[in-house]
């Protein structure tokens, strides 16, 4: 499996590397006689830089396009699986599936189905812990609705968490959404909510760990 760095992290990686080199040079010139500073700095670099590369990793995961299947849009753990009213766009009861992403999960968000992007909207908000049930209402989030060829609307919410402060979304109304391709990225711990039609046959359960583009969330009836 080929793993690359996601475009959302390239600027941060370059900035992080530049700052680390700058700090190294500063310490070398200011404390050149002290090995302890160099030892601490070297140890920090061995953790800091690999973590940035690890966090922004983007494993290639191909899918067989099938619009009867809803793939997981993110890696993580299912913390909510319930029938819930969706007040923003759908304005009806849906099946709500919430996937919480820890700092160690892949943070790429992918289209769960193919279709046309019908709606996108950014919502400013707070930064509660992402697995908090009301985070989808109170936290900063980005909503994206995809209409399938069969006329089904699937709503995806990218939700910022207590650490995450930056949501990247590539969707624009009228764009083609291709199942498995990048929808966006959430930086540093977050959550993705899926709102599915009530007649969706769900194949996962609460507490289950899922992988984007690999785990099947359910089948559209």
**16 & 47 share domain:** yes
**55 & 110 share domain:** no
Q: pLDDT value at position 100?
A: 92
Of 20, 41, 59, which closes a domain? 59
Beta-strand relationship, 190-196 and 153-160: antiparallel
**21 & 116 share domain:** no
> What is residue 33's DSSP assignment?
T
| CATH code: domain of residue 180 | 2.70.70.10
Predicted structure pTM score: 0.82
**18 & 102 share domain:** no
**124 & 181 share domain:** yes
Of 13, 29, 59, which closes a domain? 59
Q: What is the extent of the structural domain holding 13?
A: 3-59
Q: pLDDT value at position 135?
A: 67
- Identify whether 64 is part of a domain: no
**48 & 140 share domain:** no
Beta bridge partners of residue 122, listed in sequence order = 142
**96 & 193 share domain:** yes
- Identify whether 123 is part of a domain: yes
Q: pLDDT value at position 140?
A: 87
Q: Indicate which residues carry an active-site annotation.
A: 190
Of 37, 59, 81, which closes a domain? 59
Angle in degrees, CA 192, 193, 199, rounded to 5: 145
Q: pLDDT value at position 69?
A: 96
208/215 Cα distance (integer angstroms): 10
**120 & 84 share domain:** yes
**103 & 23 share domain:** no
The position carrying tokens 């099938």 is: 66
**H or E stretch covering 137:** helix 135-138
**40 & 79 share domain:** no
pLDDT in tens, the chain (221 residues): 666 777 776 777 787 777 777 777 777 676 665 667 666 766 777 777 777 777 778 888 889 899 899 999 999 999 999 999 999 999 999 999 999 998 889 889 999 999 999 999 999 877 666 666 666 677 889 999 999 999 999 999 999 876 656 788 999 999 999 999 999 998 766 899 999 999 999 999 999 999 999 999 999 98
- Identify whether 195 is part of a domain: yes
**79 & 186 share domain:** yes
> Which three-class secondary structure state does DSSP give residue 218?
strand
- Identify whether 113 is part of a domain: yes
Structurally, the chain folds into a number of domains equal to: 2
- Identify whether 35 is part of a domain: yes
Q: At what angle do helices 7-30 and 35-55 cross, to 10 degrees?
A: 180
Q: pLDDT value at position 31?
A: 63
- Give the CA distances from residue 68 to residues 10, 45, 112, 143, in Å, rounded to whole numbers and listed in that order: 35, 46, 11, 22
CA 108 to mean position of chain CA atoms:
5
Q: pLDDT value at position 25?
A: 72
Q: Which two tokens stand for residue 132?
A: 């908090």
**40 & 85 share domain:** no
């Amino acid at each position: 499996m080929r793993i690359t760095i996601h475009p959302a992290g390239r600027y941060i990686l370059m900035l992080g590397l530049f700052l680390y080199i700058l700090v190294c040079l500063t310490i070398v010139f200011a404390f050149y006689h002290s090995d302890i500073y160099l030892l601490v700095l070297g140890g920090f670099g061995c953790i800091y830089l690999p973590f940035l590369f690890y966090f922004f990793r983007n494993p290639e995961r191909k899918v067989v396009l099938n619009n009867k299947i809803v793939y997981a849009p993110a890696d993580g753990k299912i913390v909510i699986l319930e029938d819930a009213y969706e007040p923003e766009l759908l304005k009806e009861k849906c099946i709500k599936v919430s996937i919480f992403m820890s700092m160690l999960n892949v943070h790429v968000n992918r289209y769960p189905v193919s279709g046309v992007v019908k709606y996108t909207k950014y919502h400013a908000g707070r930064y509660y812990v992402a697995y908090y049930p009301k985070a989808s209402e109170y936290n900063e989030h980005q909503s994206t609705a995809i209409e399938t060829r069969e006329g089904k609307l699937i709503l995806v919410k990218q939700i910022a968490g207590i650490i995450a402060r930056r949501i990247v979304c590539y969707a624009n109304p009228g764009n083609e959404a291709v199942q498995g391709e990048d929808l966006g990225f959430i930086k540093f711990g977050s959550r993705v909510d899926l709102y599915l039609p009530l007649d969706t046959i769900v194949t996962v359960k609460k507490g289950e760990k899922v992988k984007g583009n690999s785990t099947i969330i359910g089948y559209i009836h």
